[in-house]
Structure 1
Amino acid sequence: MAEALVKPQPAMRATMKRAVSLLLAALLAGCSTMVPKGPQQAPPPPTKQPGTTQPGRLPEDQRDRVAVLVPLSGPEAGIGQSIANAANMALIDSGGQGVRLTMYDTATGAAMAAQKALSEGNKLILGPLLSDDVRAIAPIAAAQHVPVVAFSNDVSVAGSGIYLLGFTPTESVDRIVSYAKERGLGRLAALVPNGVYGRRASNAMLRAAENTGATVVSMQSFDRSPASLTTAIKRLGDPKGYDALLIADNGRIALAAAPLVRKSGSAAKLLGTELWNTEPQLAASKVMSGAWFAAVSDGLYSQFAGKYRARFGKGPYRLSSLGYDSVLLAVRISADWRPGTDFPLDRLADKGGFSGVDGAFRFDRDGIAERVLEVKQIGMGGVTVVSPAPQGFGDQ
């Protein structure tokens, strides 16, 4: 087969990369040519393989094969389907004719899904969502030299061909601690949940404090029960001994902890992580007013969510943006990836990073996504940005 029939030539590659950039700009601008004007059906399934998106007319052997592994049945089906829908949107919106996308259900067994995906010739895996599923497929993908861009936030599964696109606590803790210290809040305390996330957040806080010159005066863990949370707050010690308190857990836990913290006599500034970004009730709580947390920008995500709602008739799960951004990444790299060959792994190490609905990101040497984050402040009835995210990694 002639090379010209297999892949767009160098003269076209810049055009393809520019198309992805223009896509993101159109999302932000609400481009009328891209936003459906009413509820629409999801793309119809192909005649041969359910779950395969075919937005272009290129023959099978002229497209890079990419698998998306998410739960499409069982208790996590809602979020899995939302990610799959977002992945389909990205492929259609970007005009990614050089990519063939196929969905595989991990609820029936992640290892089985990975084996099927590899047997069908996929050279890149996007997903899975759960860390246990990532562990299950890791040796299977490694044996075939197929990289995995997973949606998990468990950094312990990264490395050896596994790249994590999920939101991890390390950067959000570092960002919020640095911001607090810059504003004179240098005596820190923390409430962290037992488990992997809590351990990561604890380590991140200790490092961030050391790097900024802040002092961690108390750090208490809890098991998310009301009694345990109450005990942990009492063990923080003198309520006047710290001027900022990190609640390194989701917004629901923050809503439960904040009144107890105030009842203890503490007037400390409340700080949060990226987990707070998915809890709309925070802005309705008087006791949370004035709290800060660090997370990705919601600017482009709001545009994406509007498009998603118009297309599928309901709003997306917040993590669905990972499906969208991972496909944008695949489309961008497809310009340098000849169908049927191994994925060009070196492209994932691009220090300039990639752009997506959740802003700029790049993978560090451990395969973990680094992101640019903004600091948000909770107020009665809304959330405002008090420290914008850098435009790129050169601004950090």
Structure 2
Amino acid sequence: MAVLVPLSGPDAAVGRALGQAARLAMFDTGSKAFELTVYDTGEAGAVAAANRALGAGNDLILGPLRADDVRAVAPLTQRARVPVIAFSNDADIAASGVYVLGFTPSQAVARVVGQAAATGSRRFAAVVPASTYGQRSARAMSVAVQRAGGQVVGVETYDRPENARAAAQRLASRGYDAVLLADSGRPVALAAQGVRPGARILGTELWASANLGSVPRLRGAWYAAPTQGQWGQFVGRYKARYSGQTPPRIASLGYDAVLLGVRAARGWQPGRRFPLGAIDDREGFAGVDGIFRFGPDNVAERAFEVRQVTAGGSSLVSPAPTRF
């Protein structure tokens, strides 16, 4: 099993954490079913790393991290009939033999919008960045609102963080019950200042790794994210093994991808290709981020919980499902 991540270049810290998390999973499970090797996509590119991994006889690839790298290596892995479990959150890169493990914004948006609708919100609006992530978040909100029988009364975009507040203020006359702020950090803090008084503020999975409780207007806001239940334990084991280093939130993907491989290896016969049927198991898998499974579109379907921003961090509003 190969892990393709950047160990050099601007994303080296994230890539290193993903690789270390994968090794930690091997250590925790004690699995002897396969060997794990980490290949650097930052040095000579993802294609070169994939060729090295395939040439070494790897039967499963975890990674790459970025969507463009996944697209680049997919033709190679598909010809070799080696499945890819990508760390990207871009659902558009999913294809035959290519699975997306990252946290896609559409699922988090659907979860938090559904929770808001269940508690009385009917008129929804959104303030999103003028980016692919923003577009997908707005589209996901529209679908979720329609499913819940609500109405989208407005969507505003901004090109720079400092313009987020003005974008929110442009929605002031729309009379919305709830507004989605599909960003994190400074843009969300600024946008919140322009939100209509009394409206419920909603966020995405990006909020899970942000400290937003210092912004008074965001206290009480809801967001959907992977369950926090196992995260603290994972961080503790990671720090103990890697000299006190604190992993970024995305590192859990490296750990959970290996858990998937370990479980699938139970039915992996020596000399045969990796069993794709194990990846498609409809019962799903359990990991640091809760339960997940791959749908017919090869995108990870996740069970998100809804949390509320508090001055000291967050509190649970609605727990994540424990089974599909």
Q: 2:31 aligns with which of 81, 96, 118?
A: 96
Distance 1:366 1:187 in 2: 30
Distance 2:222 2:71 in 1: 34
User: Within the alignment, does 1:267 sit opposite 2:198 as a pair?
Assistant: yes
Q: Tell me the residue number matched to 2:46.
A: 110
Secondary structure, aligned partner of 1:378: strand
Q: 2:290 aligns with which of 352, 359, 363?
A: 359
CA deviations on 1:328-371 (whole Å, 9 max, x unpaired) are 00011111112342111111111100110100000000100000
* 1:247 maps to amino acid: L
Give the C-alpha shift of residue 251 in structure 1.
3.4
Give the C-alpha shift of residue 81 in structure 1.
0.6
Are the counterparts in 2 of residues 154 and 197 from structure 1 also a CA contact under 8 Å? no
TM-score (ref. length: structure 2): 0.97
* Greater Cα offset, 104-113 or 330-339: 330-339
Q: 2:186 aligns with which of 209, 227, 252?
A: 252
Distance 1:356 1:88 in 2: 15
Are the counterparts in 1 of residues 166 and 191 from structure 2 also a CA contact under 8 Å? no
* Greater Cα offset, 194-203 or 290-299: 194-203
Are the counterparts in 2 of residues 300 and 358 from structure 1 also a CA contact under 8 Å? yes
Distance 2:51 2:171 in 1: 49
Q: 2:301 aligns with which of 360, 365, 370?
A: 370
Secondary structure, aligned partner of 2:57: coil
Q: Tell me the residue number matched to 2:255.
A: 324
Q: Tell me the residue number matched to 2:177.
A: 243
TM-score (ref. length: structure 1): 0.79
* 2:157 maps to amino acid: S
Are the counterparts in 2 of residues 177 and 209 from structure 1 also a CA contact under 8 Å? yes
User: Within the alignment, does 1:78 sit opposite 2:10 as a pair?
Assistant: no
Distance 2:236 2:178 in 1: 36
Q: Tell me the residue number matched to 2:236.
A: 306
User: Within the alignment, does 1:389 sit opposite 2:314 as a pair?
Assistant: no
Give the C-alpha shift of residue 200 in structure 1.
1.4
Give the C-alpha shift of residue 307 in structure 1.
1.0
Work out the percentage of aligned pairs sharing the same amino acid. 49
Distance 2:282 2:143 in 1: 23
Give the C-alpha shift of residue 250 in structure 1.
2.1
Are the counterparts in 1 of residues 161 and 186 from structure 2 also a CA contact under 8 Å? no
Are the counterparts in 1 of residues 165 and 190 from structure 2 also a CA contact under 8 Å? no
Give the C-alpha shift of residue 223 in structure 1.
1.7
Are the counterparts in 2 of residues 130 and 152 from structure 1 also a CA contact under 8 Å? yes
Secondary structure, aligned partner of 1:355: strand
Distance 1:391 1:231 in 2: 40
Distance 1:69 1:338 in 2: 24
**Structure with more contact order per residue of length (Cα contacts < 8 Å, sep ≥ 6):** 1
CA deviations on 1:20-44 (whole Å, 9 max, x unpaired) are xxxxxxxxxxxxxxxxxxxxxxxxx
Q: Tell me the residue number matched to 1:288.
A: 218
Q: 1:187 aligns with which of 112, 115, 123?
A: 123
After superposition, the Cα gap between the structure-2 partners of 1:135 and 1:164, relative to the gap in structure 1 and judged at 3 Å, is same
Which is higher, the Rg of structure 1 or of structure 2? 1
Runs of 4+ with >3 A deviation: none
| Structure 2: gaps (5+ residues) | none
Secondary structure, aligned partner of 2:36: strand
Distance 1:67 1:253 in 2: 37
* 1:269 maps to amino acid: R
Are the counterparts in 1 of residues 5 and 41 from structure 2 also a CA contact under 8 Å? yes
Secondary structure, aligned partner of 2:230: helix
* 2:82 maps to amino acid: V
Distance 1:340 1:74 in 2: 36
- In the TM superposition, 1:50-61 aligns within 5 A as none
Distance 1:300 1:368 in 2: 22
Q: 2:4 aligns with which of 69, 86, 97?
A: 69
| Structure 1: gaps (5+ residues) | 1-65
Distance 1:346 1:173 in 2: 29
Give the C-alpha shift of residue 237 in structure 1.
4.1
CA deviations on 1:22-67 (whole Å, 9 max, x unpaired) are xxxxxxxxxxxxxxxxxxxxxxxxxxxxxxxxxxxxxxxxxxxx00
Q: Tell me the residue number matched to 1:337.
A: 268
After superposition, the Cα gap between the structure-2 partners of 1:371 and 1:182, relative to the gap in structure 1 and judged at 3 Å, is same
User: Within the alignment, does 1:218 sit opposite 2:149 as a pair?
Assistant: no
* 1:117 maps to amino acid: A
Are the counterparts in 2 of residues 218 and 237 from structure 1 also a CA contact under 8 Å? no
User: Within the alignment, does 1:165 sit opposite 2:101 as a pair?
Assistant: yes
Are the counterparts in 2 of residues 123 and 341 from structure 1 also a CA contact under 8 Å? no
Distance 1:363 1:159 in 2: 12
- In the TM superposition, 1:18-33 aligns within 5 A as none
Give the C-alpha shift of residue 94 in structure 1.
0.3
